[in-house]
A and B are shown apart, each in its own frame.
Chain A
Amino acid sequence: DTGVSQNPRHKITKRGQNVTFRCDPISEHNRLYWYRQTLGQGPEFLTYFQNEAQLEKSRLLSDRFSAERPKGSFSTLEIQRTEQGDSAMYLCASSPSALSYNEQFFGPGTRLTVL
């Protein structure tokens, strides 16, 4: 399968714990995006990378959130000191180049539940 993969698919954690999610984009896709989707809402943009450079972060991305893409391939999204409001589906997408009109391909998502 050469699509976007995300791990884990589900994560249940207690409030205050740290969690880390991983996204593996389609091979050689330069752009990688993170989105968050809460129940009954559409996905909302969090941040994106062009290769290893993080180009933009949404105001939704508080200082408890950090994302990296160290070698321009896979990316991680870490949430520190999780809160119940962080419960959501975290989606990753990749696209083949810097051209904004390129289609984004989405992974299956990681569903986070904070108890």
Chain B
Amino acid sequence: KQEVTQIPAALSVPEGENLVLNCSFTDSAIYNLQWFRQDPGKGLTSLLLIQSSQREQTSGRLNASLDKSSGRSTLYIAASQPGDSATYLCAVTNRDDKIIFGKGTRLHILP
């Protein structure tokens, strides 16, 4: 059974710092891995999608890596801003077509 774990559960960093969010999964037989952002009480915004054959994806200040063999992904946020404060969710798409989510990392950027 696929399990997705995100560490840390919560993180506070001063504005301007670079930071890394971690995600691990137990079954490497995945189609892809996605990172989402969720603001309080809102839906999900897809940030980056990495196909299983890819190693990383970049969008602006965000960079996501995927090491399928070790079951790990990281989301790197450069030059953090207060507007980056949100919950970040990692999710993998299994070979049985299901998406399994982690519980998320609550990020707070201190002005």
A interface residues, how many (CB within 8 angstroms): 25
Query: Do A44 and B101 have beta carbons less than 8 Å apart?
Result: yes
Within 8 A of A (CB), among B58-98: 89, 91, 93, 95, 97-98
Query: Do A43 and B44 have beta carbons less than 8 Å apart?
Result: yes
Question: Hey, which chain B residues are within 8 Å of A72, CB to CB?
Answer: none
Q: Which of B31, B41, B104 contacts A101 (CB 8 A)?
A: B31
Q: In the bound complex, what is the Cα–Cα distance between A33 and B45 (angstroms)?
A: 16
Question: With A42-B89, A42-B103 as given contacts, are A106 and B98 in contact (CB-CB < 8 Å)?
Answer: no
Within 8 A of A (CB), among B22-47: 31-32, 34, 36, 41-46
Query: Do A42 and B51 have beta carbons less than 8 Å apart?
Result: no
Closest A residue to B42 by beta carbon equals A108
Closest A residue to B98 by beta carbon equals A45
A contact residues vs B (CB 8 Å cutoff): 6, 33, 35, 40-45, 48, 55-56, 89, 91, 93, 100-101, 103-109, 111
> 23 A-B pairs, CB-CB below 8 angstroms?
A6-B43, A42-B91, A42-B101, A43-B44, A43-B89, A44-B101, A45-B98, A56-B98, A91-B44, A100-B31, A100-B97, A101-B52, A103-B34, A103-B46, A104-B34, A104-B46, A104-B99, A106-B36, A106-B43, A106-B44, A106-B45, A108-B43, A109-B43
